[in-house]
Structure 1
Amino acid sequence: MMLHALLSMSLLLGPAPATPALQWGDCPENATAPGVECATLDVPLDYGDPGGETIEIAISRMKSTDTTKRHGVLLTNSGGPGGPGLAFPAYLRTLGMSQSILDTYDVIGMDPRGVDHSSPVTCDLPSDEFFSNIPPYARNQADVTTDAARARTIAEKCAQSPTARLIPHISTANTARDLDRVRQALGERTASYFAPSYGTYLGSVWATMFPHTTDRVMLDSATGPGGWDATFSRLFGRGVEERFPDFAKWVAAHPSYGLGSTPAAVRAKYLEIAAKLDATPRPEGIDGRLFRQITFADLYYDREFPALATKWQILDTGAPLPAPSDPGLPSTDNYLASQMHVICNDSDWPSSVGHYRRAVEQDRKRWPLFGAAGANITPCAFWPTSAVPVTITDHGPSNILILHNLRDPATPLAGAVQLRKAFGDRARLVTADQGGHLAYLELKNRCADTITETFLTTGKRPAHDVRC
């Protein structure tokens, strides 16, 4: 269903019912922080039936302590999708969000529908069936076939899980509607927004569906106008190719690791280790596929370079691991389940296994380091419900700022450029000449941070796109 149809449906439904006052109190244990309070809000499970069944959404608030500077509320999302958000306001404070921003807003967190304290969904997966949210690297056609069988099994388990009836209603569009219900419950005519990574897509959908209730919309490290769709997933290969030279240069400057004295030698070492582990996996279960995923994950931040180089060194020399390998999988399946619900419901994914076989071979040639991962098959190919996508448009006020690193492995710059194009004059794009995922607060780029803080505290943006 296209945007105009969604908006028409909202008009036919009439105004939302009066929202009861929020009852603020203590937060759940995993979101407790000084100065943060929590509440719950009932919202429709199905916005097509606003008077029907409701679900509970958990929200948090970190109030401005300077009433003379308070401008309004800043809605936030921690990314994912599937990431809990109640603790995110306090986390932003810990990361060093400027006091001027914290004075300007009551910062609002929310566990999105289906996540943690907000009517959590499950796929009822046992811990030995947990998987990475990034598709595995397909070494050959047989891997695609094996991965397809596993992906089908996971999708079927989601469809048969205790929360299966919620599946059609866990989407970015419905989370955007929840955000606007939160705004109403807070008694605010408009709201501002800040989020990184996947949260940029949620913010883009919210700003598209409710353009005139948006105040200042700040998007850090954008997925692109389609969110986490099949096109975005295939960008992981491109993102690694753009980011890898930063790591290779760093390793070459640290010869003690013995991984290569030039960036070209470091790249060759990556391919060598991957091939070695493909042929002979480690006894701990680390094969070439997992090695590639570990490398991808540790390319997110420069601070991980020493640890990643140490892992390479151990795997290259055959030295014993210092501790049991931990691929970083979650302790419950809620994160993965809620992530799949959103990703698979937001857009239509190709359902033909043959499509993924062809895509894997194409991207293996285009982006040899990781292209055969991003193009590989996921449970979305076998998802039990149909998608209801939202088309991002330029209809609405010019109040959006997109911030992006030039070399981001997780949300490559190409997606941000396409989002900027979709928003037209509604947005400005600020690019920072640095590598890694997330720009504001993470890499301390003075130019980018100043533009971000000026926008969120005053509403002033650059007149044109800016390179920092």
Structure 2
Amino acid sequence: MSHEDLRRNRRNRRSDSGTWACSWRARPRRCPCPAAPALGWSSCGPVGLGQECATLRVPLDYAEPGGAQVDLAVSRIKATGPGARRGTLLVVAGGPGSSGVQRLSAKGAALKEQLGGAYDLVSFDPRGVGGSVKAHCGLDGADRHLVTLRSWPAADGSIDENVERSRRVAEACARNGGAVLRSLTTSNEVRDMDRLRQALGERRISAWANSYGTYVTAQYAQKFPRRTDRIVLDSSADPNPATVAQGWLRDMARGADDRFPDFAAWAAHPDRAASRLADRPEDVRPLVLDLAARLDRAPKPSTTPGVPLTGNLLRQAMQSALYSDAAFADFARLVKQAADPDAVPVLPPMLAGPMPDEDAAVTVGVVCNDVRWRGSVPTFRRSVAADRAAHPLTAGMPVNITPCSFWKDSPVERPTRLTSDGPSNILMIQGLRDPSTPHSSALKMREALGARARMVSVDRGGHGMYLSNGNACGDRTVTRFLLTGERPAADVTCR
């Protein structure tokens, strides 16, 4: 064994000692960590899956593990395969703000079939989400719409309203959020994952993580490398600790440009009939951009009273639709309704009204707690102007100011840099045309993990590849890895 291997093993043992989970400080101190209580399971979820639910108690503040406790919702589908049980596969949802319990309900049957019932399939709702402890900011309804939380600039490119709203949201969260809001961090989700591992009685866990969940799970593998078995990171972003979510949002401009040609080809196909928008794919982009510009000038009343279809609502609907081919038809219908003088647009449910306050709180809370966002107001103005010219599909939103610029006491903790230290047990899968975490961004995660990982690039569009937007080649590669541990000898592309 080389000197470097010895040093690496020493670092891994230190990372895996367990003391880190007792504190949320950058330099943890040793402190008593009571054992995670056993989980009491009861039936829940879709009939036929055998899904069970439980509640996991975790410290509100890991610096005081014996202090206040909060509850997290947990769900599982037990292994039923004819062979030996392989272990626990943790399904880690994205967001921040997505429900792991709901994701397990949606994907459980497909996972069970693919894996032959070899794993206990387990997931949880992170803090602030679903059935877990909630945070509240007390935001006005107008500040809780997705199209306002996303900081789309005004029709003329001005960000004055975004600046005022961002300051107002940050102040309300500081005033009303309290300790629960402050506890919404990636580091605490990592600690909660290990708490769940303990409660399950597992020495090591495997995981299938999606989107933001890939960052959480990569952080887990960095902190607890010897507690991981087989790790799948599906649709990853750049883990740069200096930017974190600010960089992820910025990447959406590139992602939309990468992905939109798929929609254009779909919307120009002669078999589309009622959904066809143009005779040629190259005509679809200017059509959508022109329509958004017209709606900027003259918003069109929709079937939702008081919520007209604006240019930014159309752009947000487009950005959301690019996540999956299955959403293309609904967006094409909205475009047709917007262009038809006699039609009244029907807004997608996610855009027709404000988010619940607790959903808005977790949406901004995690990303703002994790890292201080860089840039002055004049800098954001310049960035938005340049981005609107370079990426008109997203019109400056990805580089605009957010509540994080006015957040109090961020970051809560120093973000952790991912390294190549640790076991080589990670498989990444990534679409070549991802609207949210573009392939170029995932390559940064691949670079950070080094020899620990292999990467499967899938020649498909959409966000989320395994058992979703991908192809048979990508699915087979992930399934084989989870069942046998076999990975490609080098990074590969599934055409």
Task: With the length of structure 2 as denominator, give the TM-score of the two structures.
Answer: 0.87
For residue 457 of structure 2, the aligned residue among 431, 449, 456 is: 431
Are 2:396 and 1:380 equivalent residues in the alignment? no
- Most deviating of 57-66 and 222-231: 222-231
Are 2:77 and 1:54 equivalent residues in the alignment? no
Preserved contact between residue 431 and residue 466 of structure 1 (Cα < 8 Å):
yes
Preserved contact between residue 31 and residue 86 of structure 1 (Cα < 8 Å):
no
Q: CA deviation at 1:14?
A: 5.2
1:41 equivalent in structure 2: 56
Preserved contact between residue 91 and residue 207 of structure 2 (Cα < 8 Å):
yes
2:40 equivalent in structure 1: 23
> What is the correspondence of 1:58-97 to structure 2 with a 5 Å cutoff?
58-66=73-81, 68-94=83-109, 96-97=110-111
Q: Which amino acid aligns with 1:456?
A: L
Are 2:387 and 1:339 equivalent residues in the alignment? no
Preserved contact between residue 145 and residue 355 of structure 2 (Cα < 8 Å):
no
For 1:379 and 1:31, the matched residues in 2 are separated by 38
Q: CA deviation at 1:31?
A: 7.8
Preserved contact between residue 126 and residue 132 of structure 2 (Cα < 8 Å):
yes
Preserved contact between residue 234 and residue 371 of structure 1 (Cα < 8 Å):
no
2:293 equivalent in structure 1: 275
Are 2:456 and 1:441 equivalent residues in the alignment? no
Q: Which amino acid aligns with 2:163?
A: A
Q: Which amino acid aligns with 2:161?
A: T
Preserved contact between residue 70 and residue 105 of structure 1 (Cα < 8 Å):
yes
Q: CA deviation at 1:137?
A: 3.0
2:180 equivalent in structure 1: 166
Q: CA deviation at 1:370?
A: 1.1
**Uncovered stretches (5+) of structure 1, i.e. residues with no partner:** none
Preserved contact between residue 301 and residue 345 of structure 2 (Cα < 8 Å):
no
Preserved contact between residue 235 and residue 463 of structure 2 (Cα < 8 Å):
yes
Are 2:219 and 1:205 equivalent residues in the alignment? yes
Q: CA deviation at 1:368?
A: 2.2
| Aligned residues: CA RMSD | 2.5
1:291 equivalent in structure 2: 314
Are 2:284 and 1:266 equivalent residues in the alignment? yes
SS at match of 1:245: helix
SS at match of 2:467: coil
Change (3 A) 1:124 1:31: farther
For residue 165 of structure 2, the aligned residue among 122, 139, 150 is: 150
SS at match of 1:462: coil
Q: CA deviation at 1:428?
A: 0.9
> What is the correspondence of 1:292-371 to structure 2 with a 5 Å cutoff?
292-321=315-344, 323=346, 326=349, 327=351, 332-350=356-374, 352-371=376-395
1:13 equivalent in structure 2: 30
**Uncovered stretches (5+) of structure 2, i.e. residues with no partner:** 1-13, 303-307
For 2:27 and 2:230, the matched residues in 1 are separated by 23
Are 2:194 and 1:194 equivalent residues in the alignment? no
Change (3 A) 1:251 1:129: same
- Most deviating of 56-65 and 416-425: 56-65
- 1:7-47 Cα offsets, whole Å, 9 max, x none, are 996763257332222222244xx788741122222212112
Are 2:137 and 1:123 equivalent residues in the alignment? yes
> What is the correspondence of 1:371-410 to structure 2 with a 5 Å cutoff?
371-387=395-411, 388=413, 389-410=415-436
For 1:170 and 1:24, the matched residues in 2 are separated by 26
- Most deviating of 211-220 and 121-130: 121-130
SS at match of 2:146: coil
Q: CA deviation at 1:140?
A: 6.0
For 2:233 and 2:84, the matched residues in 1 are separated by 23
SS at match of 2:173: helix
- 1:211-247 Cα offsets, whole Å, 9 max, x none, are 1101111111112214851111111111111111111
Question: How many residues are paired up?
Answer: 462
For 1:340 and 1:432, the matched residues in 2 are separated by 31
Preserved contact between residue 72 and residue 133 of structure 2 (Cα < 8 Å):
yes
Change (3 A) 1:35 1:367: same
Preserved contact between residue 136 and residue 289 of structure 1 (Cα < 8 Å):
no
Are 2:128 and 1:110 equivalent residues in the alignment? no
Q: CA deviation at 1:173?
A: 0.8
For 1:219 and 1:325, the matched residues in 2 are separated by 29
Q: Which amino acid aligns with 2:248?
A: F
Q: CA deviation at 1:358?
A: 1.5
SS at match of 2:139: coil
2:234 equivalent in structure 1: 220
Change (3 A) 1:427 1:433: same
Change (3 A) 1:360 1:114: same
Q: Which amino acid aligns with 1:220?
A: D
- Most deviating of 137-146 and 398-407: 137-146
1:245 equivalent in structure 2: 261
Change (3 A) 1:333 1:404: same
For 2:238 and 2:255, the matched residues in 1 are separated by 13
Q: Which amino acid aligns with 1:48?
A: A
Task: With the length of structure 1 as denominator, give the TM-score of the two structures.
Answer: 0.92
2:250 equivalent in structure 1: 234
Q: Which amino acid aligns with 1:424?
A: G
For 1:440 and 1:42, the matched residues in 2 are separated by 31
- 1:342-364 Cα offsets, whole Å, 9 max, x none, are 11112221252222112112222
- 1:295-347 Cα offsets, whole Å, 9 max, x none, are 11111111222222221122122232264664165652222211211111122
For 1:258 and 1:246, the matched residues in 2 are separated by 14
Q: Which amino acid aligns with 1:51?
A: G
